[in-house]
Structure 1
Amino acid sequence: MTRVWILPMLFVLCGSVVATGLVLSGSPAAAVALLLLFVLLAGMNSPLIFPRSIGALEAQRRSAADDRPVVFWRPGCRYCIRLRIRLGRSARQLHWVDIWRDPAGAAAVRAVNDGNETVPTVVVAGEPHTNPDPEWVRAQLSP
């Protein structure tokens, strides 16, 4: 659980240290701007911007029932962040599995990516697609 928060916490800590140095050197405006930038980076790399994750087995069960894709992701992955941001509100229609929280999800990703935990891996109708284009994923949601 704490592993997903290491990168965001490092961003906030580093931003705080640099901002403190800027305040002490007489640049409070630059310190505030830089600290806001680091907080934004922390937020983007945290699990907070992703819809609630579920387990791989539950996601596969739900996907079989409603034909929605399953997205295997992990915090800090820039490609996962790109997919999530470019999907916008459509992301809520997908089933998200955090492979750092779910060993079965990590195993499922390794099984389809030659032993690698390459994310995002999107499973549509039982077919895995590694790092697909967000527009393609959005098209898979259309009836």
Structure 2
Amino acid sequence: MTRAWILPIVLVLCGSAAASGLFAQGSPGRATAFLVGFVLLGGVHSPLFFPKSIGALEAQRRSAVDGKPVVYWRAGCKYCVRLRFRLGRRARQAHWVDIWSDPAGAAAVREANDGNETVPTVFVAGRPYVNPGHAWVREQLSSSGR
């Protein structure tokens, strides 16, 4: 769990250090803007930005029942952030599994990607798709809505 927070914490700390330097130089407005920007960047790369993760086995069970895709992701992955951002509110309809907090999820991704933990990997009807386009994932969410 702590590994998912390393990048967001580093971003906030770096932003704080840079903002302190700007504030010391007499630019409190720029320092505030800089700090807010880094806090937002850290927030987007944190687990808070993603829908609540569930375990891989539970996600597979739910997907078998409702037909919705299972999205395997990890914090700090720019492709995962891009997919999440472009799906917008529809992202909450998919089942999200954080591979850094779920060993079974990481194993499923490694099995689908020749031993690599390449994310996002989206499973639809048990079949893996690596780094699919957001339009395709949105289409899968629409077709699974019963």
| TM tier, smaller | over 0.9
> Counterpart of 1:131?
131
Q: Give the superposition deviation at 1:142.
A: 1.6
Q: Deviations over 1:105-133 (max 9, x none)?
A: 00000001010000000000111000000
> Counterpart of 1:100?
100
Letter in 2 for 1:11: L
Structure 1 residues 54-73: aligned runs within 5 Å: 54-73=54-73
Distance 2:23 2:49 in 1: 30
**Alignment TM-score, normalising by the size of structure 2:** 0.96
> Counterpart of 1:111?
111
Identity, in percent, stands at: 70
List 4+ stretches of structure 1 deviating above 4 A: none
> In the alignment, does 2:12 pair up with 1:12?
yes
Unaligned runs of 5+ in 2: none
> Counterpart of 2:85?
85
Paired residue secondary structure (1:142): helix
> Counterpart of 1:37?
37
Q: Give the superposition deviation at 1:141.
A: 1.3
Aligned CA-pair RMSD: 0.6
Unaligned runs of 5+ in 1: none
> Counterpart of 2:122?
122
Distance 1:8 1:66 in 2: 33
Letter in 1 for 2:112: V
